[in-house]
Chains A and B, each alone.
Chain A
Amino acid sequence: MPDLLLELFSEEIPARMQRRAAEDLKKLVTDALVERGFVYEGAKAFATPRRLALHVAGLPVKGQDVREERKGPRVGAPEAAVQGFLKGAGLTSLEQAKIESDPKKGEFYVAVIEKPGRTTQDVLAEIVPQIVKTFPWPKSMRWGAASKDPGSLRWVRPLQSIVCTFGPETEDPEVVHFEVDGIASGDVTHGHRFLSPGAFRVKRFDDYAPALERAKVVLDADRRKDIILHDARDLAFAQGLELVEDEGLLEEVAGLVEWPVVLMGSFDEAFLDIPPEVIRTTIRANQKCFVLRDPKTGKLANRFLLTSNLVAKDGGKTIVGGNERVVRARLSDAKFFWETDQRVKLEDRLDKLKSIVFHEKLGTQHERVERIAALARNLAPIVGADPELAERAARLAKADLVTEMVGEFPELQGLMGRYYATLQGENPSVAAAVEEHYKPLGPSDRVPTDPVSVAVALADKIDTLVGFWAIDEKPTGSKDPYALRRAALGVIRLVLENDIRLHFVQQVMKSRAFAAAEANEGVAADLLSFFADRLKVYLRDQGARHDLIDAVFALPGQDDLLMIVRRVEALGRFLDTEDGANLLAGYRRAANILRIEEKKDGRSYSEAPDLEIVNAQGQIEEKALAVVLHGARQEAAVAVENEDFEGAMRALSRLRQPVDAFFDKVTVNAEDSALRENRLKLLNAFREATRAVADFSRIEG
């Protein structure tokens, strides 16, 4: 079966776009083929800095023939009808049609239209240019003389040439001819920009990949990664060092070279005084180099690994020298930042935060820090932190934003603050909180446990949420520019994983952000329901039932996340027991009867049942229910008061038997209207009793 080889050769494609582009190319071409009825055996796409390539194996030579019969008018029909038929079927005279007959209709004409399957070549020549023209690059551009015309071809960088061949293994494949904005497809490509710049012809994938290899191009990104990783490990090992592995960097570096050559450079040991994170970030961000550590001490070594794109005539000496120069300059800068930053105490930087706008409507970073400090202080007793320390930590938490180092490497925010706080002799909890108050940054990030960190982390997130809620900048759909969902999840995890009792609405309304934004209770309630949603997502990921969360949230005054979760857990366990399941069934029966009767009577039966009527006229089962109900309600209330949700459920479970018996023996709709009314009230009292733990009407299943 024949194969397709497609290569789109361009100027350097951004590393971060290559993998996705290769996948897109594969999907677009194979989808277009399948859509036209062409099946294939396999497809694989590749990307290097200068090319996207696609190999589709096992395609048919041509598509299936299509035979279609089209019924026409009866024999002897008016001329207009006949002409219309001939035209529609693409015939020139009736002689080309055949005549068939049918007992009902008599004789009529039938046109047989035979469409031979199109050659795969033709189909490819049609679909490939279309895909090139509409390729989904995240960013694309126009170029060259052609760009004077509107609608000229867009590509990620100038597209230079296209290889497109198709044919069986046994013969020489043919070029699939087409043209895209002046670029004609062919069978000529180029090797490595410097090591093998000449043009050469290719036939099919089987000779394309080896030919590229000879021309110093490793086509497969995963192979390039593999080469880099292994060479890097080997070079490190030879020096008694260990590579600090970095998958993101590896992926990027593999997208910057067609022929990877790993080389080792070094820098002055004196730079090792700089924090290792800074060295790593500097070398990684600016130079895209790996750092190394001493396996014995775990400390960074004064070496780095660069991945060049050249087999240099001097063995790489010049390249290493050049890279060392740049690393030296960068580390000098970092060392300078590190040293100058230490000259100014963090608290003396706070004034500078006044000139940084956090958000147009939410004031400056300085105002925000003041709000967070006040809130952290309030939260401190709740989370078991020293209020002084919490306030101090909050006040210093954002000071590193105006240090030179964080100005240069924003990703080091927090961490640098911690270093500087430690160096200026802050309490270790304060220093830790300066770093950790940003945490957790996502579902898998570590949750801080030091109470000071917890207080500041909560304050930071609550301030953000309240602020953006108050100015109505809430997340919508996939848009969440201020990462508010992440902040809410952070609050949830901080509270749950540290067993913190926090009345959320109360804290929200006490926060300065709330006052500053002149927000009202509606905002707090809306924010709480956002939390309910986030909590549902969180608990669902943990395997909890979302309806149980609803059932708990439906009760009034539920804003203590930890208690909500405890209650949900207890409820889940209870419903899994036979008592629980039956009580739920009893509840539903009662609720159904009440709904029907209340609707019929146009009134509710929310008053307490008259126990005298029960005692005087009631059956034994309803007497029993009334008694147990009274006890169970009290017991459940006490248990809830003591936050013993298991106990509350146990108390309610005592209702199961009397409720079952009641439904078994007692006719609710008694003839005596007073008795009937009282029985409905009794059922209502039962319905109400369950609300001690949850709103059972929200429970599904």
Chain B
Amino acid sequence: MTSETAHMNPARSFQGLILTLQRYWAEQGCVILQPYDMEMGAGTFHPATTLRALGPKPWRAAYVQPSRRPKDGRYGENPNRLQHYYQFQVILKPNPPDIQQLYVKSLEAIGIDTGVHDIRFVEDDWESPTLGAWGLGWECWCDGMEVSQFTYFQQVAGFECSPVAGELTYGLERLAMYLQGVESIYDLNFNGLEGDRKVTYGDVFLQAEQEYSRHNFEYADTEMLFRHFRDAEAACRKYLADGEPKPGANDSRHLMALPAYDQCIKASHMFNLLDARGVISVTERQSYILRVRELAKACGAAWLKTEGGGVAA
């Protein structure tokens, strides 16, 4: 590797890892999307996965999604846990017959030599109660470490996936830590440069982890969050109703599935924040999850009535 490109080496640069994965999956025909501009707990929530997994249309996408898990914040003190981290998400619908092989090759692309690393597919079924979704698949292990999640979506938003999509989620920080051989997330080399020009993950995110942990656990305005949850829920329902095809109109498509779904994402994140603040009791917890799921299901139903969901224009 020349000195010009050394900083792009996925084993030395966090961004190099991301760019390598993007390039690899672009070559497999994926559209490379940018992160969704909303707070969410996982890349799966991105409409490019949740909604596009529904309906008959083929779809291939890959993107980085910043994922927010307020409860996982550790004030920047834990070398392995963050309340904000990156997932690299790939969705292939229908899943190609060689999707496992494609995945293994993606590992090779980022420098994991399958001649010395022990790659394993260990049973791990996936379920998202808030999305009304489940699938079967594995945790993908590299030398005993879970580096990705591999799922064949069977149901999303309460609807059968037909055809089934294959979803790959790479935990980027963990993967990078292994590739770079560092013990703390904050020590990751972000830009792959050395000396004065080197920027670490800590340089970029440590302060944010400290501040957001404070916010998530101690200061987040719970009254406002409860209100925003209710508002998002109401808005979601309203947009779903407003977007319904008008009786008698010859166009039977739903007109606002995506804006409605944004509100569902929002409600879900509000719930996560409230949960982190510890103001939701165990019994209430279940009912909040159920409320988000109802929104997700209704959004899924609306999506199936759109062009993206397979209705002819």
The answer to whether A12 touches B138, judged by C-beta atoms less than 8 angstroms apart, is yes
The answer to whether B136 touches A139, judged by C-beta atoms less than 8 angstroms apart, is yes
The smallest beta-carbon distance between B161 and chain A, in angstroms, is 7
Give the residue name and chain of the B residue nearest to A149 (CB).
B162
Mark out the residues of chain A between 276 and 323 whose CB falls within 8 Å of any chain B CB in the assembled complex: 287-289, 306, 308-310, 312-314, 317-319, 321-323
Give the residue name and chain of the A residue nearest to B166 (CB).
A143
The answer to whether B152 touches A12, judged by C-beta atoms less than 8 angstroms apart, is no
Give the residue name and chain of the B residue nearest to A357 (CB).
B282
Mark out the residues of chain B between 110 and 141 whose CB falls within 8 Å of any chain A CB in the assembled complex: 113-123, 125, 135-138
Give the residue name and chain of the A residue nearest to B81 (CB).
A333
The answer to whether A141 touches B152, judged by C-beta atoms less than 8 angstroms apart, is yes
Question: A148: which B residues are within 8 A, CB to CB?
Answer: 56, 94, 162-163
Question: A323: which B residues are within 8 A, CB to CB?
Answer: 143-145
Question: A14: which B residues are within 8 A, CB to CB?
Answer: 123
Give the residue name and chain of the B residue nearest to A197 (CB).
B101
Contact of A319 among B143, B183, B282 (CB under 8 A): B143
Q: Does B80 contact A (CB under 8 A)?
A: yes
User: How far, in whole Å, are A121 and B100 apart by their CA atoms in the complex?
Assistant: 33
The answer to whether A12 touches B121, judged by C-beta atoms less than 8 angstroms apart, is yes
The answer to whether A194 touches B115, judged by C-beta atoms less than 8 angstroms apart, is yes
Q: Does A142 contact B (CB under 8 A)?
A: yes
Decide: A143 near B95, CB < 8 A? Known: A325-B178, A326-B145: yes
Q: Does B34 contact A (CB under 8 A)?
A: no
Q: Does A158 contact B (CB under 8 A)?
A: yes
Decide: A318 near B114, CB < 8 A? Known: A16-B123, A144-B95, A356-B282: no
Q: Does B259 contact A (CB under 8 A)?
A: no
The answer to whether B178 touches A144, judged by C-beta atoms less than 8 angstroms apart, is no
The smallest beta-carbon distance between B95 and chain A, in angstroms, is 6
Question: B166: which A residues are within 8 A, CB to CB?
Answer: 143
The answer to whether B161 touches A147, judged by C-beta atoms less than 8 angstroms apart, is yes
Q: Does A396 contact B (CB under 8 A)?
A: no
The smallest beta-carbon distance between B102 and chain A, in angstroms, is 13
Q: Does B195 contact A (CB under 8 A)?
A: no
Question: A11: which B residues are within 8 A, CB to CB?
Answer: 100, 121
Q: Does A80 contact B (CB under 8 A)?
A: no
**Cβ proximity bits A325-340 to B, threshold 8 Å, 1 near / 0 not:** 1110100010000000
The answer to whether A147 touches B164, judged by C-beta atoms less than 8 angstroms apart, is yes
The answer to whether A325 touches B282, judged by C-beta atoms less than 8 angstroms apart, is no
The answer to whether B144 touches A144, judged by C-beta atoms less than 8 angstroms apart, is no
Mark out the residues of chain A between 2 and 35 whose CB falls within 8 Å of any chain B CB in the assembled complex: 11-12, 14-16
Q: Does A355 contact B (CB under 8 A)?
A: yes
The answer to whether A256 touches B122, judged by C-beta atoms less than 8 angstroms apart, is yes
Question: A12: which B residues are within 8 A, CB to CB?
Answer: 120-123, 138
Q: Does B5 contact A (CB under 8 A)?
A: no
User: How far, in whole Å, are A141 and B155 apart by their CA atoms in the complex?
Assistant: 10
Decide: A310 near B118, CB < 8 A? Known: A143-B152, A158-B97: yes
Q: Does B169 contact A (CB under 8 A)?
A: no
Q: Does A102 contact B (CB under 8 A)?
A: no
Question: B125: which A residues are within 8 A, CB to CB?
Answer: 139
Q: Does B96 contact A (CB under 8 A)?
A: yes
Contact of B282 among A156, A157, A321, A355 (CB under 8 A): A355
Question: A326: which B residues are within 8 A, CB to CB?
Answer: 143-145
Decide: A150 near B138, CB < 8 A? Known: A139-B125, A141-B152, A143-B95: no
State how many residues of chain B have any CB contact under 8 Å with chain A.
40
The answer to whether A194 touches B114, judged by C-beta atoms less than 8 angstroms apart, is yes
Question: A322: which B residues are within 8 A, CB to CB?
Answer: 117-118, 142-145, 178
The smallest beta-carbon distance between A228 and chain B, in angstroms, is 14
Contact of B144 among A158, A287, A312, A313 (CB under 8 A): A287
Contact of A318 among B80, B100, B117, B283 (CB under 8 A): B117
Q: Does A612 contact B (CB under 8 A)?
A: no
The smallest beta-carbon distance between A142 and chain B, in angstroms, is 5
The answer to whether B163 touches A313, judged by C-beta atoms less than 8 angstroms apart, is no
The answer to whether B161 touches A157, judged by C-beta atoms less than 8 angstroms apart, is no
Q: Does B281 contact A (CB under 8 A)?
A: yes
**Cβ proximity bits B44-59 to A, threshold 8 Å, 1 near / 0 not:** 0000000000001000
The answer to whether A158 touches B152, judged by C-beta atoms less than 8 angstroms apart, is yes
The answer to whether B144 touches A318, judged by C-beta atoms less than 8 angstroms apart, is no
Question: B114: which A residues are within 8 A, CB to CB?
Answer: 194
Give the residue name and chain of the B residue nearest to A49 (CB).
B121
Question: A160: which B residues are within 8 A, CB to CB?
Answer: 97
User: How far, in whole Å, are A322 and B181 apart by their CA atoms in the complex?
Assistant: 9
Q: Does A145 contact B (CB under 8 A)?
A: yes
Mark out the residues of chain A between 135 and 184 whose CB falls within 8 Å of any chain B CB in the assembled complex: 139-150, 156-158, 160
**Cβ proximity bits B272-287 to A, threshold 8 Å, 1 near / 0 not:** 0000000001110000
Decide: A360 near B283, CB < 8 A? Known: A145-B94, A158-B97: yes
Mark out the residues of chain A between 209 and 232 whose CB falls within 8 Å of any chain B CB in the assembled complex: none
Q: Does B154 contact A (CB under 8 A)?
A: yes
Mark out the residues of chain A between 354 and 377 whose CB falls within 8 Å of any chain B CB in the assembled complex: 355-357, 360
Question: B282: which A residues are within 8 A, CB to CB?
Answer: 355-357
User: How far, in whole Å, are A314 and B118 apart by their CA atoms in the complex?
Assistant: 12
Give the residue name and chain of the A residue nearest to B138 (CB).
A12
Question: B121: which A residues are within 8 A, CB to CB?
Answer: 11-12, 49
Contact of B154 among A141, A309, A325 (CB under 8 A): A141
User: How far, in whole Å, are A141 and B166 apart by their CA atoms in the complex?
Assistant: 12
The smallest beta-carbon distance between A586 and chain B, in angstroms, is 63
The smallest beta-carbon distance between A7 and chain B, in angstroms, is 18
The answer to whether B97 touches A147, judged by C-beta atoms less than 8 angstroms apart, is no
Mark out the residues of chain B between 156 and 203 whose CB falls within 8 Å of any chain A CB in the assembled complex: 161-164, 166, 178, 183
Question: A156: which B residues are within 8 A, CB to CB?
Answer: 136
Question: A145: which B residues are within 8 A, CB to CB?
Answer: 94, 163
Contact of A312 among B97, B116, B283 (CB under 8 A): B116
The smallest beta-carbon distance between B150 and chain A, in angstroms, is 9
The answer to whether A142 touches B164, judged by C-beta atoms less than 8 angstroms apart, is yes
User: How far, in whole Å, are A149 and B120 apart by their CA atoms in the complex?
Assistant: 31
User: How far, in whole Å, are A322 and B144 apart by their CA atoms in the complex?
Assistant: 7
Decide: A319 near B162, CB < 8 A? Known: A144-B97, A145-B94, A329-B80: no
Question: B80: which A residues are within 8 A, CB to CB?
Answer: 329, 333
Decide: A147 near B116, CB < 8 A? Known: A142-B154, A318-B143: no
Question: A194: which B residues are within 8 A, CB to CB?
Answer: 114-115, 119
Contact of B283 among A288, A317, A333, A357 (CB under 8 A): A357
User: How far, in whole Å, are A448 and B155 apart by their CA atoms in the complex?
Assistant: 47
The smallest beta-carbon distance between A322 and chain B, in angstroms, is 2
Question: B136: which A residues are within 8 A, CB to CB?
Answer: 139-141, 156-157
User: How far, in whole Å, are A14 and B125 apart by their CA atoms in the complex?
Assistant: 10
Question: B183: which A residues are within 8 A, CB to CB?
Answer: 325
Question: B122: which A residues are within 8 A, CB to CB?
Answer: 12, 15, 256, 288
Give the residue name and chain of the A residue nearest to B282 (CB).
A357
Decide: A355 near B281, CB < 8 A? Known: A143-B152, A147-B163: yes
Question: B144: which A residues are within 8 A, CB to CB?
Answer: 287, 289, 306, 319, 322-323, 326-327
The smallest beta-carbon distance between B103 and chain A, in angstroms, is 11
User: How far, in whole Å, are A306 and B143 apart by their CA atoms in the complex?
Assistant: 10
**Which of A140, A314, A326 is packed against the most chain B CB atoms within 10 Å?**
A326
User: How far, in whole Å, are A312 and B116 apart by their CA atoms in the complex?
Assistant: 5
The smallest beta-carbon distance between A589 and chain B, in angstroms, is 64
User: How far, in whole Å, are A333 and B79 apart by their CA atoms in the complex?
Assistant: 10
Return 28 A-B CB contacts under 8 Å, by A number.
A11-B100, A139-B136, A140-B136, A141-B152, A143-B164, A144-B96, A146-B163, A147-B94, A149-B162, A156-B136, A158-B95, A193-B119, A194-B114, A257-B120, A287-B144, A306-B144, A309-B118, A312-B117, A319-B116, A319-B144, A323-B144, A325-B143, A325-B145, A325-B183, A329-B80, A355-B281, A356-B282, A360-B283
Given A12-B120, A144-B164, A147-B162, 20 extra CB contacts under 8 A? A16-B123, A140-B136, A141-B154, A142-B162, A143-B95, A144-B94, A145-B94, A145-B163, A147-B161, A148-B56, A160-B97, A288-B122, A309-B120, A310-B117, A312-B115, A314-B116, A318-B143, A322-B143, A326-B143, A326-B144
| A-B CB proximity, top 8 nearest | A322-B143, A14-B123, A323-B144, A12-B121, A148-B163, A147-B164, A308-B118, A318-B116
